[in-house]
Amino acid sequence: MTTVSKDSPSILHVDLDAFFASVEQRENPEIRGLPVVVGGLGGRGVVAAASYEARKFGIRSAMSMAQAKQACPTAIFLAPRFDLYSEASHAVMEILGGFTPLVEPLSMDEAFLDVSGARRTLGDGLEIGQLLRARITATVGLTASVGIATSKSLAKIASEDAKPDGILVIEPGHEIEYLHALGVERLWGVGPVTREQLTKLGIITIGDLASRSLDETISALGPSQGNHLYRLAWNQDDREVVPNNSQKSISHEETFSVDISDRKLLEGKVRRLSDRVGERLRSQEAATRTITLKIRSHDFRTITRSRTLDQTTDRSFEIAQAAQRLLKTVDIGGGVRLIGVGAQIAVSDQGIQESLAFDGPPRGHLEVTLDAVRDRFGPGAVVSARDAVDSPDQAPKKRTKGGSKKTR
């Protein structure tokens, strides 16, 4: 068990870096490292996203495409593919849900998490942030920046300051010092119009705003906005992370850096993904009857296969069996760039029905025990002997911390 200070911040804001553009670079390795701009390609098109390489030329979201082309004529200009972005977003949200049920998505590419319930097994907010960033990169092929603080508003500011591909902790007791040095436009709710109003009053930084009385702020901005911004300037943000409880399915995916056509290797990937799906089902005391296999081929075609079981289950073994049968129906000759296993959550008054089959391990405490080991030491802590032989890189490794930033 990990010992964590009760004062350790546990609110995380996770924000995918240059999301649309990064997905396009992930899908096409030839444009990685190049300025990429996603948006409307028509005469009145606007920029939806710009890679960090494009941002060096001053290209920003909401800029007209005409201006962007003037700023960097050699950039790669692409029309958005929202189905692809939605797919990547779903995969990331599934990963976040594996760390805590308290996930509040804000948009396709960002979410708040409350990890206070996971700290005893996974470590403090920094350790959890590092784990989930690594898992997002390994599984979805994207980078994410993470801010960690005692409030939602400050965690969001921290993730902005951690970009790109970084992590930043605002330690308890240092919030006001950190906040008051920032420009007032960094507060949630301060747009160009409000910023101009505040500038006319001589309010440039958050500290300037905090130095005014509440009455002055309300007089300048009105009761609702004045009170809201004054509270945020003093880090008075007690909003809780409110999860989206409308989840209908659980899935896990893996994107490969090189297309795979080895069926035996893909079967091993399916087993490991099925382990993750089963673990998620058991953690939510849920079950499934419908298993889905998703494959993206070398030519970017997405193939989906589903199988309905005779009875509900939460067993990883049975999920893997069904998914591997589905894999046998797919032609993988040209290579596979992504594979995923999903389970539709069953709605049943009967709960999980015990299997009468004798071709698998008995249901009981074994899988629950393995879940606890993986929670403590990471998903690679326990692998089957077959998987270890088929894919040696799946053997457990010593976990090391990456670079991170931490306020003092």
Q: Residue 370 — pLDDT band, cuts 50, 70, 90? A: low
Considering only residues 400 and 194, tell me which one the structure prediction assigns the higher pLDDT: 194
What span, in angstroms and rounded, lies between the C-alpha atoms of 148 and 154? 8
Q: Is the pLDDT of residue 7 over 80?
A: no
Determine the Cα–Cα distance for residues 131 and 119; give it in Å rounded to an integer. Answer: 12
Nearest CA among 79, 77, 102, 103 for reference residue 90:
103
CA distance 166 to 158: 10
**Any idea which fold 175-233 has?**
DNA polymerase; domain 1 (1.10.150)
Strand order in the sheet with 249-260: 249-260, 336-345, 288-297, 302-313
**Architecture (CATH level 2) of domain 1-172:** 2-Layer Sandwich (3.30)
pLDDT at 384: 56
Please state the rounded mean pLDDT for residues 314-327: 94
Rounded-to-integer distance, Cα 313 and Cα 264, Å: 25
- Tell me the per-residue pLDDT of 330-341, one tens digit each, with 9 for 90 and over: 999 889 988 999
Reduced to 3 states (helix: H, G, I; strand: E, B; else coil), residue 146 is: strand
The whole-number pLDDT of residue 120 equals 85
Q: What is the band of 346 on the pLDDT scale with cuts at 50, 70, 90? A: confident
SS3 319: helix
pLDDT (tens digit per residue) in 214-226: 999 999 889 988 9
Flag whether pLDDT at 32 surpasses 90.
yes
Instruction: Evaluate if residue 323 carries a pLDDT over 80.
Output: yes
pLDDT digits (tens, 9 = 90+) for 179-205: 999 999 999 888 888 899 999 999 999
Indicate whether 177 pLDDT > 70: yes
DSSP state of 34: S
pLDDT value at residue 79: 94
**pLDDT band, residue 16 (cuts 50/70/90):** very high
In which band, very low, low, confident or very high, does the pLDDT at 311 lie, cut at 50, 70 and 90? confident
Kindly report, residue by residue over 42-63, the tens digit of the pLDDT. Answer: 877 889 999 999 999 999 988 9
Q: Which element (helix H / strand E) includes 27?
A: helix 19-27
Per-residue pLDDT averaged across 392-402, rounded?
42
What are the structure tokens assigned to 5, written together? 């200070």
State residue 378's pLDDT score: 56
Write out the E strands in 129-275: 144-149, 167-169, 249-260
Retrieve residue 157's tokens.
């500011």
Q: To the nearest 10°, the Cα dihedral for 56, 58, 64, 70? A: -80
Nearest Cα residue to 241 out of 342, 331, 125: 125
Across the strands, what pairs with 286? none
pLDDT band at 304 (very low <50, low <70, confident <90, very high): confident
* Residue % of the chain over a pLDDT of 70: 82
Give the whole-angstrom CA distance, residue 151 versus residue 114: 10
The least confident of 6-10, 21-25, 242-246, 390-394 is: 390-394
| Residue 399: other Cβ atoms inside 10 A | 14
The domain spans of the chain are: 1-172, 175-233, 249-394
Question: Mean pLDDT across the chain, nearest whole number?
Answer: 84
Contact in structure between 125 and 21 (CB atoms under 8 Å):
no
| Mean local confidence (pLDDT), 349-357 | 39
Tell the burial category of 403 from Cβ atoms under 10 Å away from its Cβ (0-12, 13-18, 19+). exposed
Residues known to be catalytic:
110
pLDDT attached to residue 175: 95
Mean pLDDT of 18-25: 96
Task: Say how far apart CA 383 and CA 376 lie, in whole Å.
Answer: 14
Span 249-293, pLDDT tens digits: 888 888 888 899 999 999 999 999 999 999 988 887 788 989 999
pLDDT band at 387 (very low <50, low <70, confident <90, very high): low
Residue 241 has pLDDT above 60, yes or no: yes
How far, in whole angstroms, is CA 103 from its chain's centroid?
A: 10
Helices (H), 98-151: 119-122, 125-140
108-154 pLDDT, tens digit per residue, is: 899 999 999 888 889 999 999 999 999 999 999 999 999 999 999 99
Confidence of residue 299 (pLDDT cuts 50, 70, 90): confident
Contacts for 376 with CB less than 8 Å, ≥ 6 apart: 121, 122
Residues 6+ apart with CB under 8 A from 191: none
State the amino acid at position 195 in one-letter form.
Answer: R
Of the candidate CATH numbers 3.40.50.970, 3.60.70.12, 3.40.1160.10, 3.30.1490.100, the domain formed by 249-394 belongs to: 3.30.1490.100
Q: Which of 15-19, 112-116, 136-140, 377-381 has the lowest mean pLDDT?
A: 377-381
pLDDT of the residue at 348: 44
